[in-house]
Amino acid sequence: MLAIGKLLELTLAGREPCEKVQLTPRGVKLHWLAEGALLVSPPSGQDQGVDLVLSAGIHGNELIPIHFLDRLIRALARGDVQPRARLLLLFANPAAMRRMVRYIEHDLNRLFLGAHADVWGGEAIRASELEALVGGFFSVSGRQRRHYDLHSAMRPSRLAQFAICPWREGGGAQPDALARLHGLAIDGVLLQRQTSSTLSAMTATLHGAEAFTLELAEGKGEDLPPAVLQFEQELIAMIEGRELPAGAEAQPQLLSISREVIKRSSRFRLCLPADIENFAPLPLGSLLAEDDGMRWVVDEPDARILFPMADVAEGQRAALIVVPLEQSDK
């Protein structure tokens, strides 16, 4: 296997490869661009006009996406995967990955679309670097632009794998994009209703990419869970230019954010079991959280909980109340 295929090892060790550009025996070019950044180009005459960004490790303690991307890079370097798309593969937050923590100073996934200019530190610098890398990659006009930012929700979920579609002017996800997600073993899509400063929001807003944050299934140990293995199989088919399974009419379940629960003080309390699953139903009228005299009571029919995290900094989101799309304003 080509040495550059050990990108994760190089990134965790803070090292650069001796050779920045290497070719597989089948003519695929691997180009080390910067720390944790690899450009993959198909052989001449085999490019089908798709530019795909795959990013992982924006939160350094989400190990399944990091392990997944490492497997893909090694397969590309061995020649087991023959791409017909240009790929930009990113280990987004090397410093947090080395410490196996969510972030060092600032949540990197809140620092795009100019937000990094308002803070100091390594994550602000890295956000600027990632914006430049993605901007350079998407600089060629007339090509299909896609981006899947890979995450792990860190808890079991009623929907094994789901996507978050960033809001952008002009509408949400197109039917063909949703069909692709369904083919990639994604069970649900959460449609955001307001702007955000995530990495996928940046690629959607600035570059018009078909961009999603993907929450992969949780598992135990180093083995990838079955849903992630299915995602891997179908993603490789996409990368190699092979047709995804038929059924464009089939789409993931669509959901919308009804409310955010924001932690405002140290007295914040989530009134939920610590091991509650993502998308678990919330009984109508139940107390969800309280904080210094404020109470969040569930008043949405068919409400579900998403990303409950009481241990966040004050001012940050501690949970989302989501509802099926037919219950929300379209």
Residue 143, both tokens: 């090509």
The 8-class DSSP code of residue 281 comes to B
Q: Is 215 a catalytic residue?
A: yes
Angle made by CA atoms 96, 101, 105, in degrees to the nearest 5: 65
Q: CB of 112 within 8 A of CB of 133?
A: no
Per-residue model confidence (pLDDT) at position 327? 43
- The answer, yes or no, to whether residue 21 has pLDDT greater than 50, is yes
Q: CB of 145 within 8 A of CB of 209?
A: yes
Per-residue model confidence (pLDDT) at position 1? 72
> Which among 215, 232, 234, 277 is annotated as catalytic?
215
Q: How confident is the model over 134-151, as pLDDT tens digits?
A: 999 999 999 999 999 999
As a whole number, mean pLDDT of residues 47-76 equals 97
Name the binding residues: 59, 62, 151
pLDDT category, 267, cuts 50, 70, 90? Answer: very high
Per-residue model confidence (pLDDT) at position 249? 60
Q: CB of 108 within 8 A of CB of 131?
A: no
- Domain residue spans of the chain: 3-239, 258-327
Per-residue model confidence (pLDDT) at position 293? 85
Q: How confident is the model over 297-327, as pLDDT tens digits?
A: 999 999 999 999 998 888 888 999 999 986 4
* Sequence-ordered list of residues with C-beta below 8 angstroms from that of 155, at least 6 positions apart, any chain: 218, 275, 276, 277, 278
Residue 218, both tokens: 């949780």
The CATH number fitting domain 258-327, selected from 3.20.20.70, 2.10.60.10, 2.40.50.630, 3.50.50.60: 2.40.50.630
Q: How confident is the model over 214-259, as pLDDT tens digits?
A: 999 987 766 789 999 999 999 999 999 987 655 556 789 999 999 9
Per-residue model confidence (pLDDT) at position 59? 97
Q: Which amino acid is located at 199 in the chain?
A: L
Per-residue model confidence (pLDDT) at position 2? 82
In Å, what is the CA distance from 28 to each residue of 9, 197, 202, 285? Answer: 21, 34, 28, 57
**Dist. CA 274–CA 252, nearest whole Å:** 27
As a whole number, mean pLDDT of residues 1-11 equals 92
Name the binding residues for Zn(2+): 59, 62, 151
Per-residue model confidence (pLDDT) at position 246? 53
The CATH number fitting domain 3-239, selected from 3.30.70.60, 3.40.630.10, 3.40.50.300, 3.30.230.70: 3.40.630.10
Average confidence score pLDDT of the chain: 92
- The answer, yes or no, to whether residue 330 has pLDDT greater than 50, is no
Residues forming a β-bridge with 149: 55, 213
Q: How far apart are the first and last CA of the chain?
A: 50
Q: What is the pTM of this model?
A: 0.94
Per-residue model confidence (pLDDT) at position 272? 95
